[in-house]
Amino acid sequence: MKDMTGKIALITGSTKGIGRAIAEAFVKAGADVIVNGRNATEVEKVRTEMGAKYGVAADLSSGEGCNSLIEQVDKIGPVEILINNTGIFGVKDFFESTDEEWENYFQLNVMSAVRLNRQFMKGMLERNSGSVINIASEAGFKPLPQMIHYSVSKTALISLSRGLAEITKGTAVTVNSLLPGPTWTDGVEKYFAGLAEEEGKDMQEVISSYFDDHEPTSLIKRFVDVKEVADATLFLATNKAVNGSALRVEGGIIRSL
Residues that bind ligand NAD (CB under 6 A): 13-19, 36-38, 59-61, 85-87, 89, 108, 135, 137, 180, 182-183, 185-188
Given the complex with ligand NAD, which of 5 and 64 has the nearer CB atom?
A: 64
Give the three-state DSSP class for 37. Answer: strand
Report CA 17 to chain centroid distance, whole Å: 10
Q: What residue type is 68 in one-letter code?
A: S
Quote the least distance from Cβ 113 to ligand NAD, whole Å.
9
Complex with ligand NAD: residue 59 or 199, whichever CB lies closer: 59
Q: Is 240 exposed, middle or buried (0-12, 13-18, 19+ CB in 10 A)?
A: exposed
Residue number with CB closer to ligand NAD (60 or 237): 60
Smallest distance from the beta carbon of 90 to ligand NAD, in angstroms? 10
Q: Which of 54, 105, 150, 191 is catalytic?
A: 150
For ligand NAD, which is the closer residue by CB, 13 or 130? Answer: 13
Q: Is 150 a catalytic residue?
A: yes
Percent of residues in the chain assigned helix, strand, coil, to nearest 5? 50, 15, 35
Shortest distance, position 79 Cβ to ligand NAD, whole Å: 16
Within 13 A of 222's CA, how many CA atoms are on the CB side?
5
Q: How far apart are CA 123 and CA 117, in angstroms?
A: 9
CB of 130 to ligand NAD, least distance (A): 21
Query: Which letter, b or e, does each residue of 241-252 get, where b requires 16 or more Cβ atoms within 10 Å of its Cβ?
Result: eebbbbbbbbbe
Q: Which residues are catalytic?
A: 150
